Structure 1
């Protein structure tokens, strides 16, 4: 047995975690490996291939968390065109300073802003493939 191997064996026997193993790959090699892994973490894929494990048992990550890219684009466009954040910031500042007059126009603007937020939330949930009713 080589000295290094004996040292690693002694560490394992004492319950110590072995040092990680690193592998240098070219950009092309890594790209081929990631393509072959098909969303499986590279370490998991390499170990499965090396030790002949079945990859079907590996829990794969969701590689496409956005289900509807068009809906997500609509939401981002709406956020970019709206002055919603600016208006809400102005309302919050007025509330904190005590200068917010409570009359029907202000109440209508706040209600409209809340409806817009609910619509954006629903659109975002739809784009992410989640179902969620209005709060």
Structure 2
């Protein structure tokens, strides 16, 4: 496909008709599927993340299999694509991050009132926290 020797089509099936699309930009297609890393779309650089985390106060004594974890990416990355972060967290930390239900985000400020980054509350399988 990259050499122009073949074409890639995608079909969007419908109830009464189906639409056929020609994929003309393989790079954009791969980025959208997560095959190729896209830091602009995901907010995540392709590096080993520096992460600070702690169990959310409400989950300190919970016995649930998934717990809420307050997380800060100290490396400056932002979570714009939860599935992309979940893949990286599994590879780098062994975390099993829930990708349903979304993520809660709050702004973190320093003592001087300057914005320092974002805090994320994620649902993570307790056994994978290690």
- Is TM > 0.5 for Structure 1 vs Structure 2? no
TM-score by length of 2: 0.24
**Which of the two has higher C-alpha Rg?**
1
**Relative contact order (C-alpha < 8 Å, sep 6+): which is higher?**
1
Structure number with higher strand proportion: 2
TM-score by length of 1: 0.23
